[in-house]
Every structure is written in structure tokens, then in C-alpha cells.
């Protein structure tokens, strides 16, 4: 597809400096830009690439004051990074598929919205509801009574178990499993474990993105619930009856144990582990590889295992480095 600088500026509310009819056909990183490509400049460390770039159009801030080749057109905007994301989304929408491919299975009771895409080898079970503009890629399985909202994308290999609910504008990447049984087993007197039936479901609200091979378990009773705007990275485990607030982000290889409640706008680093039945306050920050065994207040910042106050942990690390020196000083004082 071909876009002109003036059209791009109109889409993002920007201002063109240079040739408003400059054409772009692709996106690129500034250090790899080629003719007819569009890139953005939002980090000072990439400034050396500006003078020799071959990009036809660059998105820059209103305060931008670097030199660029005469052949390069600039579009000044408030936030080049966000503007690029908006353009990528627009581009993806323009080139997206619609229609139902052969060799897909759609139960006669399923209800499909308009402008949907269902690829070959996808399986839609009884009473599935699929919203307008949603896209189902190959080898996706959607169980009985599942509801999926508008403009949601399920990439190849996603599995949605029965009775789960997926909202509007969600993206689930390959290998995601929604609604598998929670880890519920009752110990018996003879030392064995009896499985506790998991009869709840999973509810994902709107604008949620879940990375590849992440699993969200169904509730024992009620719902495992993830609120609007939350983003989960690859290889994240969300256990049964967990509740995650709005606009929370969780990085790869994190595990959240059962019945834990996570607030709004929480940030959790990679490989963190959260114990069950605790509460994490709004806007808390949990650094990577932290082990959180107790509830955290709103705005708390922690690290370590067991996790504790971030600032105190950094001070302690400084002191630990000085332990050999301090030990020698103590020994000398004892001798005296």
C-alpha cells in the first residue's frame, strides 16, 4: 500500500515539513531505513543515523532540531512512538483478511458477526458468539458457549475452553490457553489427591493483549477476571480465581497463584512469583525475580525474594559489598 506524507499527518494530527506528497510503502527502524520507508525518532541515541538516513518520512517531536537529508520529509507530532503505533494499527486493518476459508469447522448454532475472518482448520463449537471484525487464525479451538467481542484477534494455536468470555479489541498470540482447569486438588487421608472440579470460567475485558504460550486458568467457582487494558507477556501463568485490574502489565515467566487480587496500573517484572490469596495495591511496582509472599499497599515498590522495599534493598546490597572490609575492621578493633 502507498501512503503520502500529508495523509499520514492527517491521521496522527501532525505537521509536514518538506514534500507533503512524499510516498511511503513500508515501515522501518531508523538505522535500517530504505527509500519509501517511514520511521520515527524518539531516542537521542539514534541521532547519528539522522544525517545519513534514506527514509522518505520520519515522525519527530515538535521540538526536533536535527539535520536530515534534503530528500527526507519530517512530520512533527506530539509523540512519534504513539503515532507510529497508531499508523501500524491502521496499516494492519487495511491489509487484514475477511471471509471464511474452507476446511474450517463452524457449528450450526454459532453466531458470527460481520466482516469476520475464520481460517482453515479453526474449530468453533456450539453456541459460540463471534463479534464483528474478529479474526480467527488456523488451528484455533473455541469451546462451547464462548463469547468473543468485536475486532479481537486469536492467532494460530489459541485454545479457548467452554463458557469463557473475551471482550472487544483483544489480541491473543499463538499458544495461549484460556480456561484450562485451575490447580485444585484436595489431599486425602491416604496421601493421594482428589481433583476439585473447576466449574467457573475466565473473563477477559476489552483491549487486553496476551503473549505467546501464556495460560489463564478458569475459576473453581465464579470467574478468573482480567480487566480492560491489561497486557500479559509470553509464558505467564495466571491461576484460578485471580483478579487483575485495569492497565496492568506483567512481564514474561511470571506466575500468579490462586485467588490473588492485583490492582490497577501495576507493573510486574519478569520471573516474579506471587503467592496466593494476597492483594497487590494500585500502581505497585514488583521488580523482576521478586518473590511476593505478602500483600502490598498502593504504590509499593519491591524487589528480592522474599520481596521487600526497593530502596532498602538497594542500600542493603551496598552494605553487603562492604562486608569483607567491615569484618576486617571489627577484627582489628577486637584485637585492640
Q: Which residues are catalytic?
A: 240
- In a 3-state reduction of DSSP, which class is residue 7? helix
β partners of residue 292 = 274
Assigned C-alpha cell, 10: 492527517
Q: Give the pairing of strands 201-204 and 223-226.
A: parallel
**Residues with Cβ within 8 Å of residue 271, at least 6 apart in sequence:** 251, 252, 253, 254, 288, 289
d(CA 39, CA 221): 49
Sign of dihedral through CA atoms 179, 180, 183, 189?
Answer: positive
Rounded Cα–Cα distance for residues 82 and 88 (Å): 10
**Nearest one of 228, 229, 227 to 243, comparing CA atoms:** 227
DSSP 8-state symbol, 199:
-
**How far apart are alpha carbons 142 and 196 in whole angstroms?**
24
For cell 524487589, the residue is 303
What would you report as the CA-atom Rg of the chain, rounded to the nearest whole angstrom? 25
Burial (0-12, 13-18, 19+ Cβ within 10 Å), 119 = buried
Q: Are 280 and 299 a contacting pair, CB within 8 Å?
A: no
Q: Cα(178)–Cα(109) distance, rounded to whole angstroms? A: 22
Say whether 186 sits in a helix, a strand or coil.
strand
Residue positions counted in the chain: 336
Amino acid at each position: 500500500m502507498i501512503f503520502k506524507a500529508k495523509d499520514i499527518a492527517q491521521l496522527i494530527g501532525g505537521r509536514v515539513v518538506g514534500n507533503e506528497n512524499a510516498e511511503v510503502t513500508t515501515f522501518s527502524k531508523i538505522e535500517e531505513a530504505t527509500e519509501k520507508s517511514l520511521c520515527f525518532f524518539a531516542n537521542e541515541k539514534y541521532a547519528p543515523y539522522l544525517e545519513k538516513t534514506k527514509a522518505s518520512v520520519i515522525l519527530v517531536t515538535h521540538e526536533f532540531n536535527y539535520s536530515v537529508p534534503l530528500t527526507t520529509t519530517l512530520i512533527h507530532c506530539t509523540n512519534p512512538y504513539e503515532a507510529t503505533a497508531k499508523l501500524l494499527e491502521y496499516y494492519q486493518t487495511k491489509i487484514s483478511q475477511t471471509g471464511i476459508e474452507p476446511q474450517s469447522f463452524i457449528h450450526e448454532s454459532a453466531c458470527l458477526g460481520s466482516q469476520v475472518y475464520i481460517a482453515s482448520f479453526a474449530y468453533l463449537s456450539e453456541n459460540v458468539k463471534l463479534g464483528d471484525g474478529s479474526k480467527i487464525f488456523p488451528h484455533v479451538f473455541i469451546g462451547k458457549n464462548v463469547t468473543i467481542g468485536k475486532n479481537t484477534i486469536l492467532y494460530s494455536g489459541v485454545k479457548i475452553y467452554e463458557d469463557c468470555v473475551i471482550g472487544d479489541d483483544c489480541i491473543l498470540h499463538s499458544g495461549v490457553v484460556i480456561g484450562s482447569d485451575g490447580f485444585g486438588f484436595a489431599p486425602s487421608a491416604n496421601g493421594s489427591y482428589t481433583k476439585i472440579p473447576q466449574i467457573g470460567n475466565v473473563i477477559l475485558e476489552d483491549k487486553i493483549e496476551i503473549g505467546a504460550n501464556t495460560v489463564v486458568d478458569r475459576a473453581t467457582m465464579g470467574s478468573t477476571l482480567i480487566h480492560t487494558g491489561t497486557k500479559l507477556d509470553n509464558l505467564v501463568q495466571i491461576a484460578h480465581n485471580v483478579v487483575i485490574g485495569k492497565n496492568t502489565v506483567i512481564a514474561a515467566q511470571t506466575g500468579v497463584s490462586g485467588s490473588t487480587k492485583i490492582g490497577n496500573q501495576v507493573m510486574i517484572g519478569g520471573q516474579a512469583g506471587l503467592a496466593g490469596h494476597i492483594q497487590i495495591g494500585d500502581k505497585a511496582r514488583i521488580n523482576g525475580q521478586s518473590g511476593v509472599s505478602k500483600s502490598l499497599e498502593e504504590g509499593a515498590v519491591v524487589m528480592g525474594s522474599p520481596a521487600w522495599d526497593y530502596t532498602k534493598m538497594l542500600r542493603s546490597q551496598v552494605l553487603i559489598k562492604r562486608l569483607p572490609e567491615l569484618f576486617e575492621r571489627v577484627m582489628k578493633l577486637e584485637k585492640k
